[in-house]
Every structure is written in structure tokens, then in C-alpha cells.
Structure 1
Amino acid sequence: MRLVVGVSGGSGMPYAESILRALRDLGVESHLVVSSGAKRVMTAEGSGPQLADLTALASFVHDDRDLAAGVASGSFRTDGMLVVPCSAGTLAKIAQGFADNLVARAAHVTLKERRRLVLVLREDPLPRPMLLNMLAAHDAGATVMTASAGFYHAPGSVDELLHFVTARVLDQFGLDVPGFRRWREGEA
């Protein structure tokens, strides 16, 4: 399996790190694209994962300014793409087809090729323009998710909350993350 992982400027870099780690552990080829906004957020948040942490987990890394990268073409076969975190600005670009960087271009290609695109938002509250962009992205074929952990598995740490979101996101690609406790699974 081959997935494109876009990281945009929303707060929540630990989600990106958790997903990249899970993909590596599952043997999934990952093509990482980190936006300039994400790089600024990493620096501003300081204590979370930094660019080197993310790139070390990826199979391949592409420069967000390189609109000629393989992932910018529909002939480059992938099993889909996810954007985590997906900022409001990146959501708007994807929803409206404005592909001025590689994250947005790769997402556009994913939609046009009818591959699975998952956008993981991490922003609240949700103003009307963002809600409209979420609906537009959905109508274009994307799956829109929020980085919202469940609590039925009685998490005891931040890592367990991250694991929950990671497992739910990767469920969208048919990937099973080891150690994920599903609601009432195994009950008769």
C-alpha cells in the first residue's frame, strides 16, 4: 500500500507523527508533504514533533513547493491521501480546487482520480465558511474527520488518545492499527 500524507498548518503535529509511525509499523509506503504553514506551527509549538521527527518516519519526503513531484500527477499510483492536521486554509484550498502547493495539488489529484482522501481537522469552533468548505470537500469525494478521540476505551494517557484518532483515520483505508479497542467488539 502507498499513501500520501499531507501535513498542513493546523495545530496538532502529534497526530501526524502518530499516523506516520503507524504507517511505518504497518509497512505502508508513505509520501510525506509538509506545508510551509506546518513548518511554522512546529516551530511555534516548540515542544511537539519537529520536521526531522516526521521526515524520519516517512518512506519518501517531497518539498511542498515542488508541483512537479510524482504525487502531483494522477499517473503516480497511490491508495489515497490523508491530510493531518488539515488547517482551515488547506481545507478551503482543497474544497475550492486551488492547488498552489503540493499538499493541495496532491489532494486535487487524489479527488480527480477518485482515490480516498481523508482530511483530519483540528480546529474549533467551526465558522460558517469552514462548514461550507467541509461540505464542499465532502461533496467532491473527501472524507472529513475531526481529531476527536473517543473515551469508551478508558484512555490513561495522551498517547492513548492519539492512538484512538490514528486508528480511526487509518480505518478509512482499511488498515488495522494493533492495540485499538473497538466499541463492543467481540461481544455476542
Structure 2
Amino acid sequence: MQNQQHQALRRKFKEIAFQHVDGLYNLAFHLSNNRWDAEDLVQETYLKAYLSFENFEEGSNFRGWIYTILYHSFINHYRKKSRMPLRIDFDYLKDTCPDDRNSRKFSLFTDDYERHLADEVLLAMEKLPEHYKVPVILADLFDMKYKEVASALKCPIGTVMSRIARARQKLRNSLRKYAREYGYV
């Protein structure tokens, strides 16, 4: 009987959880700024979520719950990483980097203009303090409602709203010169 319950729980987890893999990866990538850490974070998130899924209250916000797990995993990972010295595998980089420096194979954007604009926005996002960056990413890039962001970050909705407003203002200020220079304003 217990095995049947376990199987049913496992099926339900797979049914619900894997709808969010792309969003979790995107958030993990925005937080960690590299794909390997992002992949590790998503994997760790799914493992933790699976192991504690029996404690998840059916009918509550699964998306907020799993994003919370990812965010807390990131915080723990970041703390560990900040205590470790930087290690770079140059042989791996040499083997994986394309020889053609102008290659578009790995580019997400089709022209230099779009890529340059995206780079400026990403640089501005990177300069935001963590407590502003995470809420604005969740709200603006992942279309989460303020209530969902508050649930994921375990803070009051008013705090979320003010952090998002401040983050947007900081982004406006840091992109203002760029916008004038390229004729956006």
C-alpha cells in the first residue's frame, strides 16, 4: 500500500514540477550568471522539492514553492562559493570555445544592435543589489504576480512592491545615458 502511495506521489510530482523547468533554469541563470551553476541549482532544486514534496500542501502555489527552494539553494550555494577560491579549467575552455570569433552559432540575438541593447540591460541588471535584482527578475522576466514573488521570497508584499519599484528606478537611471545616446528618449 505504501509503495502505491509513493508511486502516486512520484507521478504527481513529475506532472506538476517539470512544467517549471525552463523558468527555473532561466532564473538560476540570471542569478548565477553561468550555465553550469544554473544547471546545478535547478538539479538541486528538483531534488530538494522531490524529497519534501509530501509536505507540499495541495492547492497552494507550487510555482512559488519551487521558486523559493531555488532561491534559497542559490543563497546557500552563493555563500559556499564566496568562501572558495576561483578555479578555471582553461583546457576545457580552450576545447569548447569556437575558433571563429565572429561565429553566431551561440548567439541568442540575430543582429549586433539587439545584442548590444541586451548587453546594456544585462549589465544594468548585474549592478543591482541582490535584494532588488531577484524580485524584479521574478516580476518582469518571469511574469510572476507580486503576491507570488512575496511568497517565493518569503517577505511582505509591500516590501516586494517597493523593491521592484526601486529596482526599476535604478535601471532607468543606469540606462538613461545609453537611451539618450542611441535615441530612445
Taking structure 2 as the reference length, the TM-score comes to 0.23
**Larger strand share, 1 or 2:** 1
Larger Rg belongs to: 2
Higher relative contact order (CA 8 A, sep 6+): 1
